[in-house]
Amino acid sequence: MQTMRAVLFEAPNQPLKLVELPIPLPGPGQVLLKVLACGVCHTDLHIVDGELREPKLPLVLGHQIVGTVVQAGPGAMRFLTGERVGVPWLGGTDGTCRYCVREQENLCDRPTFTGYQVDGGFAEYTIADERFCFPLPAAYTDVEAAPLLCAGLIGYRAYRMAGKNAETLGIYGFGAAAHIIAQLAKHEGKRVYAFTRPGDSAAQKFAMHQGVDWAGDSTLAPPENLDAALIFAPVGPLVVAALKATNKGGAVICGGIHMSDIPAFPYNYLWNERVIRSVANLTRRDGEEFLALAPQVPIKTEVTTFPLEQVGEALIKLRNGQLVGAAVITLDPL
């Protein structure tokens, strides 16, 4: 039996382990991928910390996978051997529930999430349902493309919910998703204000480098009120801070899968048709739209790469806010 190196998550709050596992075999409709790169996401931290409670165990994490097709399972014929594809968080749906049939497959009642209910990309090989893979724009290298697959896609879905009419946009938490979406928002002519952890001058400098109009501590008010705010940090009090900074009719969009509690606030903050909403997962249509748009802007991703054996270190840096841009595990031999 052929084996591969993989990083295994066995139980919450335990260190990840580098192990040898059998190379999986692609089943019907699946492709076997040789992993080239895989992005690290806040959701991985929420799984490791036990905040997301339904992982398959043991589990290979990682849901921003760039890989090449090395073998097609029975009936899989969408991609050629050698073709480069991306695998996102949404790894499968039932296709039949009330949400799937009304084009809300992101809300499917029986979803399969990559690197959560099925093994993901922190390994030399992985398998994926070919219907949920995306062809990737050639303009991006493997490591540059990886953050587009969750930070980019979920960020894009959140950004779209802010509405076309939003002229001023606040972004709370300036990591992987924010740096991608800030470029898109500036491209579309919006005034963009970035908020970071108080005193995080490196993140503020990074935000300015991405073209935002202002960057400052999350405890500060923006230079002008916001038409919409995107919350990418898993910090509930930011929802209230953002709401206080919005104009009438403004929207506060929460992009994360998990967040600390939102404190109570006076109804007056919400009054005048302000909206708070969350963004869950992605649809394949989001992916197709965003991956077509990204090279036109063009969005450039800033990445810090780590080898497979340093997934744990990458997660610690993400937790501590020590990363600039996106963390990506690279499987390329150096």
Positions that interact with Zn ion (CB under 5 A): 41, 43, 93-94, 97, 100, 108, 150
- Nearer to Zn ion (CB atom), residue 90 or residue 324: 90
- Nearer to Zn ion (CB atom), residue 93 or residue 183: 93
Q: Is 22 helix (H, G, I), strand (E, B) or coil?
A: strand
Minimum gap (Å) between residue 323 Cβ and Zn ion: 14
Minimum gap (Å) between residue 180 Cβ and Zn ion: 12
- Nearer to Zn ion (CB atom), residue 93 or residue 246: 93
- Nearer to Zn ion (CB atom), residue 41 or residue 240: 41
Minimum gap (Å) between residue 317 Cβ and Zn ion: 16
DSSP 272-326: TT-EEEE--S--HHHHHHHHHHTTTTT----EEEEEGGGHHHHHHHHHTT--SSE
Q: If residue 161 lies in a helix (H) or strand (E), which one and from where to where?
A: helix 151-161
Minimum gap (Å) between residue 108 Cβ and Zn ion: 3
Minimum gap (Å) between residue 104 Cβ and Zn ion: 9
- Nearer to Zn ion (CB atom), residue 110 or residue 277: 110
Minimum gap (Å) between residue 298 Cβ and Zn ion: 22
Half-sphere exposure of 23 (CA within 13 A, CB side): 14
- Nearer to Zn ion (CB atom), residue 127 or residue 150: 150
Q: If residue 180 lies in a helix (H) or strand (E), which one and from where to where?
A: helix 176-187
The answer to whether the beta carbons of residues 301 and 180 sit under 8 Å apart is yes
Separation CA 130–CA 148 (nearest Å): 18
Which strands sit side by side in the sheet containing 226-231, from one edge to the other? Answer: 214-217, 191-196, 168-172, 226-231, 246-254, 275-278
Q: How many residues in total does the chain contain?
A: 334
Tokens of 18: 């580098």
